[in-house]
Amino acid sequence: MDIILQTWNIGQIEIKNRLVRSATVEGLSTEDGRPTQRLIDKTTELAIGGVGLIIAGTAYISFEGQADKNTTGLHNDHVIQPLSLMCWVVREAGGILVSQLLHCGSTVDLEILDQKEALFGPSAILDPVTNFPVEELSKDHIHKIINDYGKAAIRAKKAGFHAVQIHAAHGYLINQFLSKSRNHRRDQYGGSVKNRALLLYQVYEEIRGAVGPDFPIMVKMSAHDGFSGGVMPEESVEVALTLDTLGIDAIEVSAGTPEGEKAGGWDHIIPAPFPEGSFFKYALQIKDKVECPVITVEGWRDPLKIMKALEKIDAVSMSRPFIREPDLIKRWSGGDLSPAQCISCNKCLELISKSGLGCIFHNKKRDAG
């Protein structure tokens, strides 16, 4: 366990162990983006359980960018005070909390589709997943979105989050710009990898200018979109290297998109059975080229395999295991090194849309006393 319990740093923040809670949609906020007490309690439970770094569920930067109902917002100053309470409680419990910033583009839950005036993306196409029409973003609209990211980051910092993470993965807006499948533009935002990544670079620079040099900025990337027409590993390495040069503080490497699954490849939330650490090879390709910390995510369950991975990578990120066992790290550090109890049944995904984030097994355990 020694290697799992080693400290490491993101920017100037020291993290007490090398396990990260990867962001997941929680569905536990109010309709106007404020965290409910249930969300505060579940996030605090992770801190009490010993998770080194907690990345909160996606926070939309504007109503236009909201992907799912009852998710957290950073779109307006009215969320700062209620989010401050969550940040304070988590901090008091010993947690380090990161806000994940999102604009969904045309990747939205169909339950909130009728709330959208239009779906926006890099190019005017039929969305390959929903088949709904997508309007091409104008340059002025792109600049507004970039500005919205900066404002959202300032709100996160004011609320007391320790860092922010740019969500550039899983088929959302920034990932759509990176993908040749969706980005058919002929201006400076389309064509080469450098051009398709320009939105991501400008978002990073806008946030950096807003929060200052010492506030950590992370990014979550899809290193492979899960099909041959999307982002490919060699392209993600190029983008990661540029981000590292610009000063990004950490990169979480995922893979897969809803479009990938639709095209016969894969999405990012893989149900059992699957090889543990399915996307590890992509994280290693990026780690080999950058100086900043790199985090690997997807399917980690066995602490012995995690320890082996940590010989080559900075941190391991998990989501579903912490939904079932928020105190998983305490169990492992206490000497019980049996794998996480999560069986990747994905019933937690069904609960999110019905009643909010939870695990059917964890809930039964709590109900039983």
Residue 305's contacts (CB-CB under 8 Å, 6 or more residues apart) are 276, 277
Q: In angstroms, rounded to a whole number, what is the distance separating the alpha carbons of residues 178 and 185?
A: 11
Q: Is 204 tagged catalytic?
A: no
221 three-class SS: strand
CA end-to-end distance (rounded Å), the chain: 30
Q: Report the amino acid identity of residue 149.
A: Y
Whether the link from the prior residue into 293 is cis, omega within 30° of 0, is no
Query: Tokens 């309470």 identify what position?
Result: 85
User: Which residues, 6+ apart, have CB-to-CB distance to 304 below 8 Å?
Assistant: 337
CA 151, chain centre distance (Å): 19
**How far is Cα 280 from Cα 223, in angstroms, rounded to an integer?**
10
Asked if 167 contacts 102 with a C-beta cutoff of 8 angstroms, the reply is yes
Measured distance CA(203)–CA(254) in Å, rounded: 19
Q: Which of 60, 172, 189, 282 is catalytic?
A: 172
Q: Rg of the chain over CA atoms, in angstroms?
A: 19
Compute the residue count for the chain. 369
Q: Are 339 and 328 in contact (CB under 8 A)?
A: no
Let me know if 24 is exposed, middle or buried by CB neighbors in 10 A (0-12, 13-18, 19+).
buried
Active site residues: 172
